[in-house]
Amino acid sequence: MASTTTSSSAAPTVPDAVIKQRVRQSVTTEDWLIRGLIVLAGLWLLVIIFLPLYSIIYRSLTDKAGNLIWFANYATYFQNPALYGSLYNSIFIATVSTIISVLIGFLFSYAVTRTAMVGKPIFRRIVMLPLYMPSLIHAIALIYLFGNQGFVTKGFFGYFRENWGFDPSFDIGLYGPIGIIIGEVLFCFPQAIIILIVALSLTDARLYEASTALRASRIRTFFTVTVPSIKYGLISAAFVCFTLAFTDFGIPKVVGGDFNVLATDIYKQVIGQQNFQMGATVSILLLVPTVIAFAVDRIVQRRQMSLVNARAVPLHPQPNPLLDGVMLLFCMIITLIVLAMLGTAIFASLVNVWPYDFTLTLKHYDFGRVGGGGFNAYWNSVRMSAYTAVFGTVILFFSAYLIEKGKQLQWTRSIIYFISILPVALPGMVIGLAYIFFFNQPSWDMAGLTIPNPFNVLYGTMTILVIANIVHYYTVPFLTATTALKQMDPEFESVSASMSVPFYKTFWRVTLPVCLPAVLEIAMYYFVSAMVTVSAVIFLYAPSLKLASVAVVNMDDAGDTAAAAAMSVFIIVTSIGVRVLYELVTWGITRQTQAWKKR
Amino acid sequence: MSASQQTPDNVYLQVRNVTKTFGHFVALADISLDMYRGEFICFLGPSGCGKTTLLRIIAGLEEQNTGQIIQNGVDISRFPPARRDFGIVFQSYALFPNLTAAKNIAYGLEQSKLSRQDIQERVQQLLNLVGLPDSGHKYPAQLSGGQQQRIALARALALSPGLLLLDEPLSALDAKVRASLRTEMTSLHQRLGITSIMVTHDQAEALTMADRVVVMDHGRIVQVGTSQEIYHHPATPFVANFVGVMNFMQATVTDQAGTVYWGSLPLALNHHVAQWPAGSSLTLAIRPEDVRVADAAAGAPSVALAHIEQTEFLGPTYRLHLRIPANGNGHHDVSLLADIPAQQAHHAALQAARMVPIQLPSEAIRVFAPEA
C-alpha cells in the first residue's frame, strides 16, 4: 500500500516584525475618491444620527434653564408613580404582544411553508396587507368593532335580537390594555411572519429525510430539526415585535384611554406640557430597552451558523390531512381578521353617521369640513414619501456599496456599518424629539465660543421630515442592499481593475443594473414606510406642512373618527397603488435589463 | 509545448523573497521564482498551499508583507492592479451577467482610445480566437460553462496584456469539457506566445499544460521543473505523492556493503547507499506502473512472490493490490500497488487470491535521504 507521506514539513513561521510589515501600493486618485466618499458617508451619519442622539441625551440631563443637573430628571421620574407606571405598562404591553404575535406568526409561517394546505400564496399576500396600513387603522377599526358604539359591543345593533331572539352584545373593555394589545398584535405579527417565513424556507430536505430514515417521530423531528434551525429567526422576530410594540404611538393614542405608555407620555410631556426635559428623559427610557434588545440580537445572530449550503435540497411538504386542515382553518381565521379590520375601516369611512345611519356617503372624504389639513396634508405626505424614496435609496445604496466594496479605510467602514444598522433600535418618537433638539438649536456655546448651527435652517422644512424618515427606516433597506451586494461576484472589481476600468464605471454599468431589483425594493419600502409613519414626524411637521398620517391622529383626537378612517383608506390605497406600480415597473424592467436572467 | 529560452536576459517576471501573512498564518514564506518570456507556468499544490495568494500578489490584488515583483525589468511591487499589465481569468469567470459576451470582451477596450469600429473588429477577432464567432450577442447565463470560460479568456486577452493569469480556470467544468479546453488553451498559448501563469490543484492539468510546474506546499516552493522532471524525479516524498500515484517503502540499510531491505525483501538500488551507516532508515518510492511481473524466480534481489489481494480495472491497465508476506525473522508483511497492462494481466490470468512473482527494477526506485 502507498504510505501516507504527504506533507513536506510543518507550517512555516515568520518573525513578528514581518507580520506587521506591508508593501503598500501607491495611492491613486481613485483611492482618494473612495476615501473621500467613505468619510462623507461617515459625516452624514454623524449629523443625522449621532449628534441628534447626543442632543437628546444631554437634554435629559439638564433643567429648563439648560443647567446640567445629571440624573435629577430621572430621579423625579422614578419618584412619581403617575410617570413610572407607564414604564411598567409599556413593558407589560410589549411582552404580551410579542408572545402572541410570535406565536401567531410562527403558526402562520409554518402553515404557508411546511404544510401542503391549499391557498398558500393567497394567504401570504393577504397577511402582508397590514404593512401598507398605518398602525392607527387597526385602532380605528377596533373602535368601530369593539368601542362604545361598536358592532360587537352593541350586539350588531339589535339585528340578532330582532330576528333570532338573543342578544350577543359583548363589551370587551377595549379602551386600555386589551385594546392596545389587540392592536399591537395586529400591527406586529406580519413583521414576525416576514422573518419566520425566511427562516423556515432556509432548510435542507435532506435533514428531514435523514431524520425519517432514523425513524424519528414527527414530533421529535420538529424539536430536533425544525426548532434549532429557526431558533435565531424566532429570537429576531421576538425582538422586532418587542421593539415595535414597546415604542408604538398610534395605537395607544387612539384606544389607550387613560392607560398610559411611554410613547404617549412623551407626546403629553412635549406637546401638552411643553416639558422638553421630561420628554427627553422618557425618550431615553424608551430607548434603553430597544438598544439592549438590539445588542442582544446582534450577539445572538453572530453565533448563528448557516445550516444551508449551495447543495441544500428544497423541502417539499408532504400532505397530512389533519395538520393541513387545522392550519387551513387557522390561516382563514387570521386572514379574515385582517380583512375585517380593513373592511371595517373602509365601511366606516363610507357610512353617514355610525352607528345610527348606515346609508352610504362620500362626505367623510371631503376633508375640508374637518381639521387636520385635508388634501394638502395628503399631497404633502405623497411628496415627502417620494423624496424619501428617491434620496433615501440613492444615499443608502451608495453608502452600502462603499462599505461593502470599498477596500479603503477598513476601520471607518466597520464603524459606519455599525451605525447603519443601529437605527432599527431607535424609536420614531426619539428620532423626532432628538431632531427638534439638534436642529432647533440656533448655536452651540463651547468653551466660550458661539458656534452657529449650520443645520438650523432645515428646521420646519420638508427636508428635515425626509431625513427623519430616511434615518428611521435605515436599517432594513441597508441590510437588503448589503445582501444584494454580497451576492455579486467579489472578482467583478478585480477584473475591472485588471482592465484599468475605474470603480465608478463598473458601479454604473454592472453593480447598479444587477442590483436594480433590490434598489426598487428599497425605494418602495421607503415610500410605504414614509406614508404610514406617525411617530418620527409628529414632532417635526410645521403648521404649514401637515401630513396625512398625522391628520389621522388629529382628526381622531377631535372626534372625527370617520374622516380619520377615510384618510387612512387614502393612505392604504396610495401605498398599495405604489406597490402595484412597483410590480409593473419591475416586471417591465426585468424584461428589459434583466434579460440575462433568462436562459 | 513551446520551449522558451531559459537565459537570464529572457526573464520576464521575477518574484523576489515574497512573504505574505494573514494574521499569524503564513501564506507565503520567502518565495523567489523567475519566469521566462512566453512560458506557461503552473502553480500546483493542495488547497491552502499559497498558490492563489501568490497569483493575487503578482496581480496586485493582495499586498505582500515583504518582497518584490519585477515584470519586464520594472519593479511593480507598489503598483495598484490598474497600473499593472496583466489579464486575468477567475475560477468563477466573473463575467458581468448583465452584459452580452461581446460587451464583456469590449469592457476594457472601451477605456482605450479605439474607435467604435476598431473595438467591434477586435471583439470579433477575439471571439474567433476562442472559437465562439457567433456568440457575441448572448448573455453569460445563456452560455455553457465551457463557453463562459472562453469568453472570460477572450476578455482577459482583449487588451493584449504581457501576462495572463489563470486562477483555476477549468475547475468548475465537467471532466470532458475540461480535457478538451486543456488542449485548446495549450494551443492558444502556443499561437499567442503570451507568458501565462495558471493556478491549479489538479496535477494532471499541470502536467499536460505547463512548460514548467511549480509545486507548492505550506507557503513554500517545493520543486520547480518540467512535467517529466516532476513526475520522474520528484524532489521530496510530498511531490512524489502529490503528483501521480506512488508506493512508498520504508527500507533499512543492513550492512556496509549497502544492502537495503524492505521488510524481508532485499532490494538492488542504482543509488549509492554506502554513505548511510548500517541501521539507517530510508524512504524509497516506486510508481505502480514501474512494478513488473517477473520472469525470474523469487529469491533474487528485488524479486518477490506477492499475494494479489484485490484487482481494480482501470481500462488500459489493472491495478493490483499486492502483499509480500514476511519470511519470519520478526519482519512484517509489506504491501504495494502495481499497474499491469490489461493485456498482460489477462494473459497471465492475474486474479485476486493468486500469487505472482514481481520485480522492482533498480532504475525505477527513487531514494529519499533519511530525515535528519
pLDDT of residue B260: 83
A527 and A577 assigned to the same domain:
yes
How many structural domains is chain A composed of?
2
A409 and A325 assigned to the same domain:
no
A465 and A329 assigned to the same domain:
no
pLDDT of residue B45: 95
Interchain proximity A599–B90, CB inside 8 Å: no
Give dist(CA B302, CA B299) in Å, integer: 8
Write the residue in B92, B108, B140 that is nearest to A491 by C-beta: B92
Q: For an interface test with A, which of B96, B149, B199 has the most A Cβ atoms less than 10 Å from its Cβ?
A: B96
Residues of B in contact with A599 (CB under 8 A): 141-142
A396 and A449 assigned to the same domain:
yes
Looking at residue A272, what DSSP letter applies? Answer: I
Across B292-319, average pLDDT: 84
Residue pLDDT, tens place only, B294-307:
876 656 678 888 99
Residue pLDDT, tens place only, A386-411:
999 999 999 999 999 999 988 888 89
pLDDT reading at A311 higher than 70: no
What percentage of chain B has pLDDT greater than the value 90? 67
Confidence bin at A460 (pLDDT 50/70/90): confident
pLDDT of residue A531: 93
Which stretch, A9-13, A558-562, B3-7, has highest mean pLDDT? A558-562
Mean pLDDT estimate for chain A: 88
- Kindly list the distances between the CA atom of residue A377 and the CA atoms of A324, A384, A541, B77, in Å, as whole numbers in the listed order: 46, 10, 10, 62
Global model pTM greater than 0.90: no
Q: Is A8 domain-assigned?
A: no
Longest dimension (CA), chain B: 84
CATH of the domain at A88: 1.10.3720.10
CB contact burial A302-319 (16+ within 10 A = b; e otherwise): eeeeeeeeeeeeebebee
pLDDT of residue B128: 95
Interchain proximity A8–B238, CB inside 8 Å: yes
Q: Kind and range of the H or E element at B87?
A: strand B87-89
Interchain proximity B140–A596, CB inside 8 Å: yes
Give dist(CA B309, CA B288) in Å, integer: 15
Write the residue in B64, B80, B97 that is nearest to A596 by C-beta: B97
pLDDT of residue B46: 94
Residues of B in contact with A8 (CB under 8 A): 217-218, 220, 222, 236-239
Give dist(CA A190, CA A109) in Å, integer: 10
Contact B287, B247 (CB under 8 A): yes
What percentage of chain A has pLDDT greater than the value 70? 93
Hey, what's the cell of A346? Answer: 373602509
pLDDT of residue A309: 59
Give dist(CA A384, CA A544) in Å, integer: 14
Q: Is A64 domain-assigned?
A: no
Q: Is A66 domain-assigned?
A: no
Contact A142, A183 (CB under 8 A): yes
CB contact burial A502-537 (16+ within 10 A = b; e otherwise): bbeebbebbbebbbbebbbbbbbbbbbbbbbbbbbb
Put simply, the chain B residues between 317 and 356 with a CB less than 8 A from any chain A CB are 321, 335-337
Confidence bin at A593 (pLDDT 50/70/90): low
Put simply, the chain B residues between 232 and 261 with a CB less than 8 A from any chain A CB are 236-239, 241-242, 245-250
A119 and A196 assigned to the same domain:
yes
Interchain proximity A501–B65, CB inside 8 Å: no
Shortest distance, CA B194 to any CA of chain A (angstroms): 16
A110 and A222 assigned to the same domain:
yes
Put simply, the chain A residues between 512 and 541 with a CB less than 8 A from any chain B CB are 513-514
Residue pLDDT, tens place only, B109-152:
998 888 999 999 999 999 999 999 999 999 998 999 999 999 99
CB-based contact (8 Å) between B59 and chain A? yes
Contact A563, A570 (CB under 8 A): no
CB contact burial B200-218 (16+ within 10 A = b; e otherwise): bbbbebbbebbbbbbbbbb
pLDDT of residue A446: 73
Dihedral-angle region of residue A460 (phi above 0 means left; psi in -120 to 50 means alpha; beta otherwise): left
Mean pLDDT estimate for chain B: 90
Q: Which of A353, A379, A411 is the last residue of a domain?
A: A353
Q: Is A358 domain-assigned?
A: no
Nearest CA in chain B to A8: B238
Residue in B205, B232, B222, B189 with CA at minimum distance from that of residue B4: B189
pLDDT of residue B274: 63
Confidence bin at A7 (pLDDT 50/70/90): very low
| CB-CB neighbours of B73 under 10 Å | 8
Question: The dihedral of CA B288, B293, B296, B297: what is its sign?
Answer: positive
Confidence bin at A10 (pLDDT 50/70/90): low
pLDDT of residue B4: 63
A110 and A241 assigned to the same domain:
yes
Q: Is A113 domain-assigned?
A: yes
Q: Which of A301, A321, A353 is the last residue of a domain?
A: A353
Shortest distance, CA B66 to any CA of chain A (angstroms): 6
pLDDT of residue A6: 46
CB-based contact (8 Å) between B370 and chain A? no
Interchain proximity A498–B87, CB inside 8 Å: yes
Nearest CA in chain B to A1: B336
User: Higher model confidence: residue A13 or residue A567?
Assistant: A567
Give dist(CA A280, CA A194) in Å, integer: 33
Write the residue in B19, B80, B248 that is nearest to A18 by C-beta: B19
Interchain proximity A491–B222, CB inside 8 Å: no
A35 and A143 assigned to the same domain:
no
What percentage of chain B has pLDDT greater than the value 70? 94
Residue pLDDT, tens place only, A465-511:
999 999 999 998 999 999 899 888 889 999 999 999 999 999 999 99
Shortest distance, CA B92 to any CA of chain A (angstroms): 8
pLDDT reading at B247 higher than 70: yes
Q: Is A18 domain-assigned?
A: no
Residues of B in contact with A499 (CB under 8 A): 87, 107-108, 111, 155, 158-159
Q: Kind and range of the H or E element at A142?
A: helix A135-146
Range of the domain at A87: 71-353
Nearest CA in chain B to A515: B98
Which stretch, A445-454, A504-513, B263-272, B292-301, has highest mean pLDDT? A504-513
Put simply, the chain B residues between 185 and 204 with a CB less than 8 A from any chain A CB are none
User: Higher model confidence: residue B26 or residue A300?
Assistant: B26
Contact B235, B307 (CB under 8 A): no
Across B149-168, average pLDDT: 95
pLDDT of residue B172: 84
Across A174-193, average pLDDT: 93
Confidence bin at A519 (pLDDT 50/70/90): very high
Backbone angles phi, psi at A21, to 5 degrees: -75, 160
Confidence bin at A595 (pLDDT 50/70/90): low
Residue in A422, A360, A408 with CA at minimum distance from that of residue B80: A408
Q: For an interface test with A, which of B70, B93, B107, B119 has the most A Cβ atoms less than 10 Å from its Cβ?
A: B107
pLDDT of residue A472: 95
Contacts of B323 (CB under 8 A, 6+ apart): B306, B307, B309, B333, B334, B335
Q: Residue A160, exposed/middle/buried by CB under 10 A (0-12, 13-18, 19+)?
A: middle
Confidence bin at B267 (pLDDT 50/70/90): confident
Put simply, the chain B residues between 78 and 97 with a CB less than 8 A from any chain A CB are 78-84, 86-88, 90, 92, 94, 96-97
Q: Is A393 domain-assigned?
A: yes
A54 and A83 assigned to the same domain:
no
Q: What is the SS3 assignment for B159?
A: coil
A381 and A348 assigned to the same domain:
no
Residue pLDDT, tens place only, A204-248:
788 888 888 898 888 898 888 888 888 888 999 999 999 999 999
**What are B293's strand-pairing partners?**
B358
Chain mean position to CA A338: 19
Q: Is A65 domain-assigned?
A: no
Give dist(CA B263, CA A4) in Å, integer: 17
Shortest distance, CA A25 to any CA of chain B (angstroms): 4
Contact A291, A298 (CB under 8 A): no
pLDDT of residue B198: 97
Grid cell 381578521 in the structure block, residue: A337
CA angle centred on A315, ends A314 and A320, rounded to 5°: 160
Residue in A569, A439, A583, A595 with CA at minimum distance from that of residue A524: A583
Write the residue in B29, B108, B161 that is nearest to A14 by C-beta: B29
Shortest distance, CA A591 to any CA of chain B (angstroms): 12
Residue in A152, A97, A484 with CA at minimum distance from that of residue A344: A152
pLDDT reading at A3 higher than 50: no
CB-based contact (8 Å) between B135 and chain A? no
Shortest distance, CA B1 to any CA of chain A (angstroms): 27
Which stretch, A349-363, A512-526, A584-598, has highest mean pLDDT? A512-526
pLDDT reading at B161 higher than 70: yes
A409 and A545 assigned to the same domain:
yes
State the ipTM, two decimals: 0.86
A88 and A143 assigned to the same domain:
yes
Q: Kind and range of the H or E element at B183?
A: helix B175-192
pLDDT reading at A64 higher than 70: yes
Grid cell 375585517 in the structure block, residue: A340
Q: Which of A326, A353, A380 is the last residue of a domain?
A: A353
